[in-house]
């Protein structure tokens, strides 16, 4: 039993306003694995006040960029030293399979290093040369910290979501209040321990576990200057409305219903092997999961058969067992949500290729669902349009290449996607036509130096690298 009976506010562990801890159940068998106190509005007031005081006093924001970079490099090193513990905590509280949580640790390092490189090369201040001999002034352009940042993250990938926000925000000199989901109280409590060891100035960073109501209180707080949010599109719309009313800076990384386009010349075995990770990572509880598989009519049944064979070969079970590929959903309500979509797919007339709404045999005590593949899916069906957030794939047939691009773009979302082809340049040409923030070709991994974010209802703004770092700064022009 892991217990956190204090809140991490401004770099110090303090007594919460509500002393009653929340029990953290295991997604695997619903036994209690930990307890943690939750923040209430009074705690948010305290965290925002200490962040505001810290920012106004300016110790951190006036710290030279090289020293801020060194501090975040220490944090990254501490996280690397504890990578196995981080992976175990996430598997314990989220139900994410061990292969996924361990594979994600090098990705966290690459993500952090990309931000650190960007900060080293960032134009914190530059002088613009007058445009002509008659120009009476020269301009000094500065990039300064926005202020107090409310970083609000979801439960499905806590360390990645947290570090993708706090690292650039801190590198830019901001003070940060990180609001995490109650389900992640254990891993995020450990994140706070690592931040404490870095030794940042007082007030610069707080980590609060809290419910949605308290989260809305945080983002609505008048002393918050910027909101950085990852989560559902519905919640993103609410946050955007609050930000618009108060003219806060805002960046939103939201949901997805990404398409994997398998072109006629693709190696089907290679494509399906890649979709094992591109479509079913993190138990399917991933905003970038490519859950709409677009297959050419001439090879449609070949793709369906290959996906059936793949999904039926994957072990579903205890996330701590080394051969488990798909673990449980995080909560019982999420389990029921996914099972409800499977029933809906059957009602909509899709062909159930494998899986179904039944709970896997022997796993009734946990939040498990049976991985499912639907065929004969029309893109207008709800199972093709709505984000299910579980291990459910739909296979959609297309005619020509134009039809494939049309179907891929026929979605309110635009976060991720993939193209598979024997001709890499041809795949690249198709990728350029898909309206989505990130497209992988033949299963390439995400590049953390490039910007990440979504088109349409998948978000506003970008994360990662220099572009992501820039979203935590304001431009100031001084003319001389």
- Rounded distance, CA 98 to CA 319, Å? 6
Indicate if the alpha-carbon torsion angle 374, 379, 381, 382 is positive or negative: positive
Q: How many CB atoms lie within 10 A of CB 221?
A: 24
Q: How far apart are CA 374 and CA 384, in angstroms?
A: 10
- Residues forming a β-bridge with 36: 4, 22
d(CA 243, CA 220) in angstroms, rounded, equals: 8
Q: How far out from the chain centre does Cα 148 lie?
A: 21
**SS3 category, 150:** strand
Give catalytic status of residue 463 as yes or no: no
Find the catalytic residue in 183, 253, 285, 463.
Answer: 253
Helix pair 65-81, 158-171: axis angle to 10 deg: 160
**Neighbouring C-beta atoms of residue 335, cutoff 10 Å:** 20
Distance CA 362, CA 217 (A): 42
Given 93, 183, 287, 463, the catalytic residue: 287
> Is 287 labeled as catalytic in the residue annotation?
yes
8 class by beta-carbon count within 10 Å (0-12 exposed, 13-18 middle, 19+ buried): buried
Eight-class DSSP state of 265? T
Using CA atoms, how far residue 152 sits from 126, 203, 219, 335, 374, in Å, is 32, 18, 8, 23, 34
> Please, what is the end-to-end C-alpha distance for the chain in angstroms?
62
Q: DSSP string of 15-28?
A: --S--PPEEEE-TT
Catalytically active residues, by annotation = 253, 287
């Amino acid at each position: 039993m892991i217990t956190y009976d204090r809140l991490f506010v401004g770099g110090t562990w303090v007594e919460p306003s509500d002393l009653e801890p929340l029990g953290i159940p295991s997604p695997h068998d619903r036994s209690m694995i930990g307890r943690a106190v939750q923040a209430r509005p009074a705690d948010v007031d305290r965290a925002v006040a200490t962040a505001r005081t810290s920012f106004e006093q300016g110790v951190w924001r006036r710290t030279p960029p090289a020293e801020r970079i060194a501090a975040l490099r220490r944090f990254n090193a501490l996280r690397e030293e504890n990578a196995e513990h981080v992976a175990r905590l996430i598997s314990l509280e989220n139900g994410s399979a061990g292969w996924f949580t361990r594979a994600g640790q090098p990705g966290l390092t690459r993500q952090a290093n990309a931000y650190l490189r960007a900060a080293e090369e960032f134009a914190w201040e530059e002088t613009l040369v007058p445009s002509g001999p008659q120009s009476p002034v020269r301009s000094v352009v500065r990039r300064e910290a926005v202020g107090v940042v409310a970083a609000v993250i979801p439960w499905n990938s806590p360390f990645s979501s947290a570090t993708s926000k706090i690292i650039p925000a801190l590198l830019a000199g901001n003070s940060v209040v990180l609001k995490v989901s109650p389900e992640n109280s254990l891993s995020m409590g450990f994140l706070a321990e690592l931040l404490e060891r870095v030794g940042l100035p007082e007030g610069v960073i707080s980590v609060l576990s809290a419910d949605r109501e308290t989260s809305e209180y945080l983002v609505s707080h008048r002393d918050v200057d910027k909101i950085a949010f990852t989560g559902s599109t519905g919640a993103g719309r609410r946050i955007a409305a609050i930000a618009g009313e108060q003219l806060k800076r805002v960046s939103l990384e939201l949901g997805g219903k990404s398409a994997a386009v398998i072109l006629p010349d693709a190696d089907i075995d290679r494509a399906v092997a890649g979709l094992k990770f591109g479509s079913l990572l993190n138990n399917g509880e991933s905003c970038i999961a490519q859950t709409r598989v677009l297959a050419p009519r001439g090879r449609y049944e070949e793709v369906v058969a290959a996906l059936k064979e793949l999904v039926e070969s994957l072990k579903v079970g205890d996330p701590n067992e080394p051969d488990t590929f798909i673990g449980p959903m995080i909560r019982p309500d999420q389990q029921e949500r996914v099972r409800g979509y499977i029933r809906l797919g059957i009602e909509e007339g899709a062909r159930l290729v494998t899986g179904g709404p039944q709970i896997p045999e022997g796993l009734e005590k946990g939040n498990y669902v049976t991985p499912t593949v639907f065929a004969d899916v029309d893109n207008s069906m709800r199972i093709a349009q709505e984000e299910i957030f579980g291990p459910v794939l739909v296979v959609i047939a297309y005619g020509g290449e134009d039809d494939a691009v049309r179907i891929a773009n026929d979605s309110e979302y635009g976060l991720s996607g993939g193209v598979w082809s024997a001709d890499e340049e041809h795949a690249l040409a198709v990728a350029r036509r898909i309206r989505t923030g990130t497209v992988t070709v033949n299963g390439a991994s995400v590049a953390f130096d490039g910007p990440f974010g979504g088109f349409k209802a998948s978000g506003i703004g970008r994360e990662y690298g220099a572009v992501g770092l820039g979203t935590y700064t304001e431009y100031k022009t001084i003319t001389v």
